[in-house]
Amino acid sequence: MTDDARLHAPATARNRGPILDVLRGVLPADGLVLEIASGSGEHVVHFAAALRDLVWQPSDPAIEARRSIAAWIAAEGLNNVLPPLALDAAVDRWPINAADAIVCCNMIHISPWEATLGLMRGAGRVLAAGAPLALYGPFRRGGRPLEPGNAAFDEDLRRRDPRWGLRAIDDVAAVADEHGLVLDRVVDMPANNVMPIFIRR
């Protein structure tokens, strides 16, 4: 029986496998993983089903997303995913004080810059030394021109909201560094996406 609260993001089915492959080499063997901007919830249930020694804490500021996340958790019957938190990355006060890792997919380009500032501020606060922050999405990289598909996507985002758009990894890394997070590596992903991996100093 399908729960009408479950949302579907078509790209998730395409990218969740490659993202999981990277996360296997980044996340700790056990502990609590906070997912920021969980959206439909399809990513977190896929990751949690594959990495059952980790406890997953999804979150999203939108009530429709949190309803979808809860419905996906129930449908998949997972006992290592906690109920979704109402968490807006941009605000100073988060409803969680500590995590062993943070995962954030496809938020930075579809949110105001203040959300990235808040993400790094919050990650610096809740992560312990050596803990990872894994991002995923399309980014600007150094002096390289944007790929045609990403350039068109960037234009579309800015038309929809002038506060949105693809960010430069260097700019994101500079903000991260201010909050004790060092860019460890950038993993190339399919469809001109990347996964920047940060480590808490």
pLDDT digits (tens, 9 = 90+) for 31-87: 999 999 999 999 999 999 999 999 999 999 999 999 999 999 999 999 999 999 999
Of the candidate ranges 21-25, 114-118, 141-145, the one whose mean pLDDT is the lowest: 141-145
The helix or strand, by DSSP H or E, that contains position 14, with its residue range, turns out to be helix 10-24
Q: DSSP assignment, residue 99?
A: B
Burial (CB count within 10 angstroms: exposed 0-12, middle 13-18, buried 19+), residue 142 = exposed
Q: Rounded to whole angstroms, how far apart are CA atoms 134 and 21? A: 12
CA dihedral 12, 13, 18, 21 (to 10 degrees): 100
Q: What is the pLDDT of residues 139-185, one digit of tens each?
A: 999 889 999 999 999 999 999 999 999 999 999 999 999 999 999 99
Q: Rounded to whole angstroms, how far apart are CA atoms 112 and 96? A: 22
Look up residue 1 and give its two tokens.
Answer: 């029986």
Beta-carbon contacts of 128 under 8 Å, excluding residues fewer than 6 positions away, are 98, 100, 200
The correct answer on CATH 2.60.40.10 for the domain covering 10-200 is: no
In this prediction the pTM is: 0.97
Q: Residue 196's pLDDT is what?
A: 98
Q: Residue 143's pLDDT is what?
A: 83
Identify the band that residue 1 occupies on the pLDDT scale cut at 50, 70 and 90. Answer: very low
